[in-house]
Amino acid sequence: MFTYILDEDTELRPLEPAHARHIYQLIDQSRSYLRQWLSWVDATTSVQASEDYVRAALTQSMENGGFTAGIWYKDQLAGIIGFHEINWNHRTVGIGYWLGENYQGHGLVTSALRVMVDYALLELNLHRVEVRCATGNKRSRAVPERLGFILEGIIRETELLPSGYVDHAVYGMLQQEWKLKR
Amino acid sequence: MFTYILDEDTELRPLEPAHARHIYQLIDQSRSYLRQWLSWVDATTSVQASEDYVRAALTQSMENGGFTAGIWYKDQLAGIIGFHEINWNHRTVGIGYWLGENYQGHGLVTSALRVMVDYALLELNLHRVEVRCATGNKRSRAVPERLGFILEGIIRETELLPSGYVDHAVYGMLQQEWKLKR
Amino acid sequence: MFTYILDEDTELRPLEPAHARHIYQLIDQSRSYLRQWLSWVDATTSVQASEDYVRAALTQSMENGGFTAGIWYKDQLAGIIGFHEINWNHRTVGIGYWLGENYQGHGLVTSALRVMVDYALLELNLHRVEVRCATGNKRSRAVPERLGFILEGIIRETELLPSGYVDHAVYGMLQQEWKLKR
Amino acid sequence: MFTYILDEDTELRPLEPAHARHIYQLIDQSRSYLRQWLSWVDATTSVQASEDYVRAALTQSMENGGFTAGIWYKDQLAGIIGFHEINWNHRTVGIGYWLGENYQGHGLVTSALRVMVDYALLELNLHRVEVRCATGNKRSRAVPERLGFILEGIIRETELLPSGYVDHAVYGMLQQEWKLKR
Amino acid sequence: MFTYILDEDTELRPLEPAHARHIYQLIDQSRSYLRQWLSWVDATTSVQASEDYVRAALTQSMENGGFTAGIWYKDQLAGIIGFHEINWNHRTVGIGYWLGENYQGHGLVTSALRVMVDYALLELNLHRVEVRCATGNKRSRAVPERLGFILEGIIRETELLPSGYVDHAVYGMLQQEWKLKR
Amino acid sequence: MFTYILDEDTELRPLEPAHARHIYQLIDQSRSYLRQWLSWVDATTSVQASEDYVRAALTQSMENGGFTAGIWYKDQLAGIIGFHEINWNHRTVGIGYWLGENYQGHGLVTSALRVMVDYALLELNLHRVEVRCATGNKRSRAVPERLGFILEGIIRETELLPSGYVDHAVYGMLQQEWKLKR
């Protein structure tokens, strides 16, 4: 029911259990595409699995103060973006995202990430936001690069995908840097 | 961050922990007004109490499938509206609400309740929505009456307020009735 | 082992896990009769289901200060009566009951309810007791009416039975009224 | 509310939270007497402590299938008797009891224990009941001896009382033995 | 990884989940031997069951301050020895142990028990250690007897083995006695 | 009681609650030194705080399959080393450590880390071990460098110390690399 308008075609909507079936369909439509970069695709074999995911995300996010949202494009679910667990002691957080194959190329994630970083660094007053992408995932890496994140390191063989281990590019954005960019 | 636009001045925003301080201020500004009809006002003695309330509401609502939202008017928190626990066996739910003293008279709760009933009976496909008001609370009773709810009974001395026991007027709206009204 | 004597033939005995098999048999003997008015009959397909029910009732009642009891007639389990969750803030409670088909007509529930209301309003010092019956369930409605409860409302289509939605007649008894009746 | 009649003056009543104040008073009246043999007397410094005890006993007993009861004499709480945790694998259970100083000498515990052993070995079909008493506590030891329990051992320095360590006399009764005695 | 050297061939190693498969194999190799005296052998039908046991033992021991260890002989798991729940109020604890059939006759349990008693009575400063053996289990009883434990009683028919009920010999060792022996 | 011998003066001993007082003393002796690099030093104001830490570490480690150990030098507690939460999906783990001021300069952490990496990559068969140090903490950084870890990135302003935000140097070691080094 709730929404955040990104532009006339695009909105963020906070996950709710009723979205599970949209999530499952989006995954199911582009399995071979998504499993290149997402380790959990093969384990998502039913709407129930997506509903479990939604409930886990809601519980984690709500207890911790963050949230996970669907990226909706022309009233279709196009992808997911969300905060990982906020570290309130050090005031840092990671953000993760993915997009269905047919929704690439419209800058959807870039607009979504911009708004999430605003929320994290300006609303929640966090100090640092981190995005990690597999090094070979060019499209994913382009998003933080476009927003001016700094590449801080290449963490080697830290994620196991169906195709084998991949390295992570770690991108960071600090609160003071983000304020200067606006 | 998320919102549901009611009109150009008014929005619903789902509760989040960061709202606790707005809730506490709204209560604190009109304690003598609110305690006439709300039993928990005197126990709300700190922002922490409001934050505990937010977390309990988030946990309950999210596990159960409903939600609680702030009613925001001209970017100020004006009141709260939310689903009680949904009974999924019988597909029924109650809705509760309250408004700060200075925000009366703009029809804010009426617009908010209309949207909540839409969500319950059309989105969630529930069968029945119930609203209960203290019989002496004229303003509160006017809201379901304006939307066409049926007065189904007067439950005697069922709520203990600082001023003593009050009766509850019970209003009901069924899915088939609501569809006809639209 | 424990008991409350209602008359020479009739006792209340607090539920214990060993009663599960008697409960299941009583339900199983009069399924078609009971499912007219009880939504959970069809889901009670084994002694284990009844034992789960007993444990849930014991846990709820004991934590909350109420209890659930079997109505025993000539040493046979005839039915069940119990407190719903006590609202200690407002000092109100609901009571529910049902009787096997073969035990109708002896006034068993009326004597049992009288004792439960005594306990709630005089021992526990509650302010209000509520009983809700499907409007079409004449026998069930006769019980609070016989004890002088007031009919306070007809809550429409609030319970889903195998035969469809039914209305609830809500009966209330206040502490001060009950004291006058004794 | 519920009861088990032992004789015209004496009943067992299952513990309920409302009994906490009677328990506390009974302990408080004979502290110096009770602390000779009960290690927890000095820690029972308020009605709240007794209420916590009642809730813990209810939770443990109910989950496990046993119970704890007050021994009531002429409508006064005289003492407590209860099952320890039942071992359902081996079908064994211990029973513990204590009596206020002014209620000694009426055989109250003996009648109560007899009924508890009946319940354990005949109703619950357990194989063995055990009673443990400090070796110096003559009155307490007389109870299982009077009922024909067998002294099976003296467990040395196993309980720390305010006066120092004491030995335990362990008494056992088997199902087949109890059946012969009746 | 961690160890306590008993002699050049023998060590104690605290249980860890990775040991589950060694435990299961040891049980599986001598089922008919072990089930004579251990009630849980028949229920141990998979490595998973042993892993569940390890996790339960770790949780219990760690919360309570004791531990359970494997007895390793020439780098093979030979048996298990561990503390039961420590009673910190009375400063008493029980110790249990078992050995695979092929590892009998090397005094492994005697050395292990000696070290456990040292830890309990000297490190943890407990007052009393107890060992219980089925009366017919000569090998098991020889262990506490060799270390000077006192036989304090014969608890009748208290454990149900596949072959029927057995009596327990209870052996006790007090802190002051142990200090004299060293 | 259990140990892992590093050399004739140095051992690892798995944490147990009885170590809490040694941990507290070690922290309390070199507060001004430790708070340069450890964010939790100021919050460790009592032995109880250290005991809470031990129990939390035991619970986390044991459930997850890792452990935390004290580094003991000449029978004195010199520091702590432990596994962070193991990611069993990707088979990666972090290791953290600290040493009291007076125990620097003996290579204690280097020997301890070597053994922990052996355990992680060879016993637990993990794929990757990670160590993170504040960039300004030369002594801490020297440890993974001495063992051949690769510096993979500098994560900016990610930890808040009493003196302000610091950057993290991230060091990684892969299983295949470690096997080559041995």
Measured between alpha carbons, how far is residue F158 from residues A88, A126, A174, B45 in Å? 11, 11, 9, 36
* Tens digit of each residue's pLDDT, chain A (182 residues): 899 999 999 999 999 888 999 999 999 999 999 999 999 999 999 999 999 999 888 878 767 878 899 999 999 999 999 999 999 999 999 999 999 999 999 999 999 999 999 999 999 999 999 999 999 999 999 999 999 999 999 999 999 999 999 999 999 999 999 999 87
Q: Which residue of chain F is at minimal alpha-carbon distance from A174?
A: F157
CATH class, domain D4-181, is: alpha beta
CA-CA distance, F87 to F44, in Å (whole number)? 28
CA angle D123, D129, D130 (to 5 degrees): 155
Q: Which residue of chain F is at minimal alpha-carbon distance from E64?
A: F17
CB B72 within 8 A of CB B11: yes
Q: What is the pTM of this model?
A: 0.85
* pLDDT, position D127: 98
Residue E11 has pLDDT above 70, yes or no: yes
Whether residue A155 and residue F159 make contact (CB cut-off 8 A), yes or no, is: no
* pLDDT, position A62: 67
- Backbone phi, then psi, for F57, in 5-degree steps? -65, -40
Residue D61 has pLDDT above 90, yes or no: no
CA-CA distance, A98 to F101, in Å (whole number)? 47
Interface test with A, best of F152, F161, F166 (most A CBs within 10 A): F152
Measured between its terminal Cα atoms, the distance across chain F in Å is 30
Contact residues, chain C, for B91 at CB < 8 Å: 160
Query: Which residues contact residue F27 at a Cβ distance below 8 angstroms, ignoring those fewer than 6 apart?
Result: F34, F41, F44, F50, F100
Interface test with E, best of F52, F61, F62, F115 (most E CBs within 10 A): F62
Distance in Å, alpha carbon of C171 to nearest chain B alpha carbon: 9
Supply the mean pLDDT for chain E: 95
Domain ranges (residues) in chain F? 4-181
Please write the tens of the pLDDT for every residue from D12-57.
999 988 899 999 999 999 999 999 999 999 999 999 999 999 988 8
Joined together, the tokens standing for residue A122 give: 């300006």
A47-64 and B47-64 helices cross at what angle (nearest 10)? Answer: 180
Give the mean model confidence (pLDDT) for residues B54-76: 87
Name the residue with higher pLDDT: E42 or C57: E42
CA angle F97, F99, F101 (to 5 degrees): 155
CA-CA distance, C52 to C21, in Å (whole number)? 11
> Considering only CB atoms, which residues of chain B are within 8 Å of chain C?
39, 89-92, 127-128, 130, 150, 152-160, 165, 170, 172, 174
* Tens digit of each residue's pLDDT, chain C (182 residues): 899 999 999 999 999 888 999 999 999 999 999 999 999 999 999 999 999 999 888 878 767 878 999 999 999 999 999 999 999 999 999 999 999 999 999 999 999 999 999 999 999 999 999 999 999 999 999 999 999 999 999 999 999 999 999 999 999 999 999 999 87
Please write the tens of the pLDDT for every residue from E139-164.
999 999 999 999 999 999 999 999 99
Q: Give percent above pLDDT 90 in chain D.
A: 88
Please write the tens of the pLDDT for every residue from B119-169.
999 999 999 999 999 999 999 999 999 999 999 999 999 999 999 999 999
Give the mean model confidence (pLDDT) for residues D131-158: 98
What is the number of other CB atoms lying within 10 angstroms of the CB of residue C1? 18
Whether residue D158 and residue E91 make contact (CB cut-off 8 A), yes or no, is: no
Question: Which one of B89, B90, B158 has the shortest CB-CB distance to C128?
Answer: B158
* pLDDT, position F61: 72
Distance in Å, alpha carbon of C134 to nearest chain B alpha carbon: 13
Residue B56 has pLDDT above 90, yes or no: no
Name the residue with higher pLDDT: F1 or E118: E118
**Cβ burial, residue F99 (10 Å; 0-12/13-18/19+):** buried
CA Rg value for chain B: 16
Residue B55 has pLDDT above 90, yes or no: no
* pLDDT, position C59: 79
E65: left (phi over 0), alpha (psi -120 to 50) or beta: left
Whether residue F18 and residue E65 make contact (CB cut-off 8 A), yes or no, is: yes
Residue E74 confidence class, pLDDT cut points 50, 70, 90: very high
Give, for E117, the enclosing helix (H) or strand (E): helix E108-118
- Backbone phi, then psi, for D153, in 5-degree steps? 175, 165
* Tens digit of each residue's pLDDT, chain F (182 residues): 899 999 999 999 999 888 999 999 999 999 999 999 999 999 999 999 999 999 888 878 767 878 999 999 999 999 999 999 999 999 999 999 999 999 999 999 999 999 999 999 999 999 999 999 999 999 999 999 999 999 999 999 999 999 999 999 999 999 999 999 87
